[in-house]
Structure 1
């Protein structure tokens, strides 16, 4: 069983997003059943569980990514800073500027490294001059731990980078619009251990200013990077608690069986 880090209490953290009784259907098939989960600022919440248990489906509810899926219906209440993100007045595009997403497979645009990072600020009108764009690009790449590796080739295509560099480029792109929440759907599953370590170090740094929610199949990764862990099974949230408790003294036997490798 992985050993969680010391000092992972969330007692003093501020609530950033809250989901209450979230149900979701793909057509006639229900995929989420009454999920309620709090996600805190300046911390990482890990979503764990077997494949197909609803982790990524729930994650996509948090930035309304499921809106683009035909036949998908969401019920329940999800709030960002107390505001209902599914309210009719909420623009999903503006919401996704506040709630960024990094996907399982790195997906840089077929543009230069510079334009990959400048894309978000450009479409949201956050910069007016070339100097402002250059500043945002440098700061975002620096925060993503990539600046020193690419600063001399910003005009080269982002697709020419290594897998780990591409994923950090996608993180730089996501944080270039200063989101408040960063969603990460198995961001290291396609990466080697060295690249994975860099992403995990990056998460540790980014969480100082962000609420991060990560889906991971790696128990070791959940123990290393998160302060809270939520265990999903068959579309239901079985248990959520501080990471140290989930991995050492879970309340539900199903959680115990999963984190010790008895199933999943």
Structure 2
């Protein structure tokens, strides 16, 4: 995905200023920065989740495989299948574990019969590292799982509609350290097949899971590059100040 000159406004207030970024395929890109710096706003631009905010206006272009996702001809439902999203708090549907996974593929016509559906549910849960824990309780509510399991269920649900990109908005902020470690391990595995963009407040997490890091401050993209370089030899003083804890 390529973003060029992206500006975002909430009413009269500008939240992002002329953001240019190339998101690498089959890599994890972390968006870091202080609260209110624009990283979640930018993440939501990538699958047009900002469309649901009445006062939000997006300018500039964001291309996916050469197609501007803000072109009026673009089917937003199809776009959000290609660019899946996992939110800060686990939000399983009030349905069974099985139906949490099967719902999207049925709507999008990805599965034609029960056998295909069964196979996709198992595959998605395996990819999300949840199959062994969930295989004997597929008819039980997804809300009955632990917090970490619920978040992996939400990842499985996103995978089930066969996306190309997975967006994660602070996916571990509501989880304990053990569940967080499982999600981080999962992110490592998933990047072989998916492009992942993650918003995180934890610089340690960004350093552990990502190959690229973008540092946002007050709506500006200050610096973007290899994660190791950003954390060990940043070019900008603001990046240095944030990483060393002088502000944030």
What TM-score, normalized by structure 2, do the two folds share? 0.99
Residue segments in structure 2 that go unaligned for 5+ positions in a row: none
CA distance in 1, matches of 2:195, 2:137: 31
Counterpart pick for 2:96 among 109, 112, 123: 112
In the other structure, the counterpart of 2:239 is 255
In the other structure, the counterpart of 2:166 is 182
How many residues align structurally? 248
> Secondary structure of 2:34's partner?
coil
In the other structure, the counterpart of 1:137 is 121
Query: Superposition pairs for residues 22-33 of structure 1, below 5 Å?
Result: 22-33=6-17
For the aligned residue pairs, the C-alpha RMSD in angstroms reads 0.4
Query: Superposition pairs for residues 136-155 of structure 1, below 5 Å?
Result: 136-155=120-139
Which 4+ stretches in 1 moved above 4 angstroms?
none
1:159 maps to 2:137: no
Residue 193 of structure 1 and its aligned partner are, at CA, apart by: 0.5
Residue 70 of structure 1 and its aligned partner are, at CA, apart by: 0.6
Check conservation: 1:98, 1:179, Cα contact below 8 A.
yes
> Secondary structure of 1:40's partner?
coil
Residue 178 of structure 1 and its aligned partner are, at CA, apart by: 0.9
CA distance in 1, matches of 2:128, 2:57: 35
Deviations 1:211-258 (A, max 9, x none): 100000000000000000000000010000100000000000000010
1:101 maps to 2:93: no
1:82 maps to 2:66: yes
Residue segments in structure 1 that go unaligned for 5+ positions in a row: 1-16
In the other structure, the counterpart of 2:223 is 239
What TM-score, normalized by structure 1, do the two folds share? 0.93
In the other structure, the counterpart of 1:12 is none
CA distance in 1, matches of 2:89, 2:168: 11
Check conservation: 1:41, 1:209, Cα contact below 8 A.
no
Query: Superposition pairs for residues 39-58 of structure 1, below 5 Å?
Result: 39-58=23-42
